[in-house]
Amino acid sequence: MGLSAYLPGNHVDAMAMGFTFIMIPTSYLHGVLYIAPTIWPTNDPNLPKDVAEANAVPYYCCVFFMTFLFLNTYANLILTVTVDTTCGRVPLPVVSQPGWYFCPFCRYYAPPRAHHCPTCQRCVLRRDHHCFFAAKCIGYYNHRYFIAFLIYLTISSIVGVVSSFVAITYLAGGFSIAFIPALALPVLAWIFQIMPVNPIVMLEASVALFVTFGAGGLLTLQIIMILRGQTYHEFQKSISVYGKSKISNIVEVMGKNWWFCWFLPFIPSPRPGDGAHYPPRDRGGMAGGQNQGGVGGEGFSSHAGKRKLVKST
């Protein structure tokens, strides 16, 4: 693929992707350079030597853990963006096959569960959805990295909330009920001296809190759909014809080494298929045996020799 395949397709994607790629390393640097030394000071000249030495172990453990979370979060995000998950990765037929549909934009026959993304301008294998924070569609070959990205982003955000809360408590001289509204409006809280703490610390804690709920909620939804053997489109349409056992559904997305491949993004975890061939469990679950292919926001399907329009995402 050319460089254009990795670039945002519109202004919304550009802003969201820029925010993501800047926010993650900024939060990491804030954590290791400010939050961790605030909680466990080791270089404070006013601190007794034995206390500073005692703080060294938890400080370095905290920095190591934050670094591990950052590297995994960022690496999985980069792989989500750069791994090709389009239909060009598989051999495509030159004539129609059962369950396949013709994409009038890409000008080829695409497999079942593939959809054309109007933003990426490509047909994506087992397309789940378009993630504007990564400016990339989530499909068969990068879904594993997207799930790992959400896992580490959620854990990182929780760590950020907890560590920031501890640092704020220390800087403010103790717990206050004002912490709660200050997290929602950190800059105003600082201006009106509701929370006399550096607004950057409050803003970081506030962002981490919102990311925790956002990433955690999306991760929960993704886990539910994976266990059911559904893509987001199929989940919306209540289509459940490709689901197998829960373990088989997990293997389809995360690969055969699903139980530990999330630990590092470079651990090989081959998937059992190619993203193009899906023998359905029960065709009766689909309305009239329709193909689930999609073109942009709409999908073309063939039934009884006639082509008709089917709404999709």
SS3 299: strand
**Which residues, listed in sequence order, are joined to residue 306 by a DSSP beta bridge?**
303
Share of the chain above pLDDT 70, in %: 87
- pLDDT over 50 (residue 60): yes
Rounded mean pLDDT, 129-153: 97
- Please state the domain extents for the chain: 3-311
The yes-or-no verdict on residue 232 having pLDDT over 90 is yes
- pLDDT for 182: 76
> Taking the model in full, what pTM does it have?
0.87
Query: pLDDT tens digit string along 12-47?
Result: 999 999 999 999 999 999 999 999 999 999 988 888
- Cα gap 198→207, rounded to integer Å: 15
Residue 233's CB: how many other CB atoms inside 10 A?
20
With a cut of 60, say whether residue 274 has pLDDT above it.
yes
Active site residues: 131
pLDDT of residue 262: 92
Indicate the range of 48-52, 189-193, 286-290 predicted with least confidence. 286-290
By the 8 A CB rule, do 31 and 160 touch? yes
User: Which pLDDT does position 35 carry in this prediction?
Assistant: 94
Which distant-in-sequence residues (6+ apart) come within 8 Å of 252 by Cβ? Answer: 229, 244, 271, 272, 273
The residue ranking higher by pLDDT, 180 or 155, is 155
